Amino acid sequence: MPIRKTRATLSDGRALLYFDDTEPYVGGTATRELHDGRDLKPVAASSTMRYDALTGEWVTLAAHRNTRTFLPAVDACPLCPTRPGRAATEIPAADYDVAVFENRFPSLAAPSATGVAKYVDGETLWPQRVADGRCEVVCFTSDHDRSFAQLTPSRVRTVLAALVDRTRELSALPGVAQVYCFENRGEEIGVTLAHPHGQIYAYPELPARTAALLRQAEFHRTRTGRSLLRDVLEAERRSGTRMIVDREYWTAYVPAAARWPVELHVAPRRDVADLTELDDAELDELAQVYLDVLGRLDRFFDGVARLPYIAGWHQAPTGTGRELGRLHLQIFSLMRSPHRMKYLAGSESGMGAWIGDTTPEQIAARFREVAP
């Protein structure tokens, strides 16, 4: 399907991109509003990363985010289009299909951020660095009240095209170790803007989950000569007990060691490192599968119309360890029963010793019950 990409710049220098799939814009007979009439000061991000010697993980410190926008009224939503009679928003156009822009309150600073001392307090135990990655916001639709699950397959396809585009461009930036595209939905999990949107993080260091996965994948390859994520997918397909969807190009299943009360993974049948390696047929089917599984989430609990969830694309690193990664989507909810959230207990928060509130087999059975 044809999609038109248009670049613009916001008044503070941040990038804005439109991805259009409707006329008159996709055909080029009209263009989106490119002028941002606001008088914004340049973003002053001061993010740093400190190395935790006890865990081997990097912790990002972004104190400037404490002042970010928090649950504004609908008529003050910064992700809605800029329309007559309302304050200007992050998107100058009076309407849009899909829009992507650099976050005004980024967790990761711009590469031009001021340098920091190599060590905290001069102690070599605590290396630190500028968190020089990039954070972008992806607006799925101009309709404030529509959820991702309510989009048309063609609009989901446009969102996917935008994620492919951003993964390709951000992966090519100097110093980017991994690109993570994700959506948070629901105030219960900390969403501060109700407008349907996602985010993209370009990390300068591999996050803890990716680092752990690569360690396991490397051990598995050394021991067996095979891909860990490929073997997991094939084992789930052979078992069948936790399968949700199994189509020509995509499979959805509840992982055998699912942690969350509601969780599933969506994986391509073909080995691909990231979204940029998918072909048109795979992306077309993915748009349908994505809507299928999100619809099941919203039917999972009786009386819960919009289940809060996190959906994130795990992509291979851009450099070292790329051959060990394999694209997959993880979707999970912190809701353990209708309107009751799972809060991490002392053993889970303090020690990382996870305790499930159900079984993966029960989760899978419920997903099959609520099939469309």
Q: What is the pLDDT of residues 74-131, one digit of tens each?
A: 999 999 999 988 889 999 999 999 999 999 999 997 655 567 899 999 999 999 999 9
Per-residue pLDDT tens digits for 181-206: 999 999 998 899 999 999 999 999 99
Statement: residue 26 has pLDDT above 70: yes
User: Is the whole-model pTM more than 0.85?
Assistant: yes
As a whole number, mean pLDDT of residues 309-316 equals 98
Bridge-partner residues for 178, per DSSP? 203
Beta strands, E only, the chain: 4-9, 15-20, 48-52, 57-61, 98-102, 128-130, 134-139, 178-185, 197-203, 243-246, 250-253, 262-268, 309-314, 328-333, 335-337, 340-341
The strand order across the sheet containing 98-102 reads 4-9, 15-20, 98-102, 134-139, 197-203, 178-185, 309-314, 328-333, 262-268, 250-253, 243-246
- Higher pLDDT among residues 266 and 42, named by residue: 266
The predicted pLDDT at position 322 comes to 98
Residues 139, 91: contact at Cβ < 8 Å? yes
Please identify which residue in the block is written with the tokens 């999972």: 300
Please identify which residue in the block is written with the tokens 């102690």: 123
The answer to whether 35 is a known catalytic residue is: no
66: its two tokens: 């404490």
Going by pLDDT thresholds of 50, 70 and 90, the confidence category of residue 70 is: confident
C-beta neighbour count of 196 within 10 angstroms: 23
The predicted pLDDT at position 222 comes to 98
Statement: residue 39 has pLDDT above 90: yes
Per 3-state DSSP, the chain is made up of helix, strand and coil in percentages (nearest 5) of 30, 25, 50
The predicted pLDDT at position 46 comes to 81
Beta strands, E only, 39-102: 48-52, 57-61, 98-102
Statement: residue 304 has pLDDT above 80: yes
Sign of torsion, CA 125 131 133 138? Answer: positive
107: its two tokens: 């967790």
As a whole number, mean pLDDT of residues 291-306 equals 97
> Quick check: helix, strand or coil at residue 30?
coil
Of residues 35, 144, 195, 197, which has the active-site annotation? 197
The predicted pLDDT at position 80 comes to 97
Which domains does the chain carry?
A: 4-205 (3.30.428.10), 209-369 (3.30.428.10)
> Quick check: helix, strand or coil at residue 171?
helix
The predicted pLDDT at position 109 comes to 77
As a whole number, mean pLDDT of residues 218-223 equals 98
> Quick check: helix, strand or coil at residue 91?
strand
48: its two tokens: 């740093």
Bridge-partner residues for 310, per DSSP? 184, 332
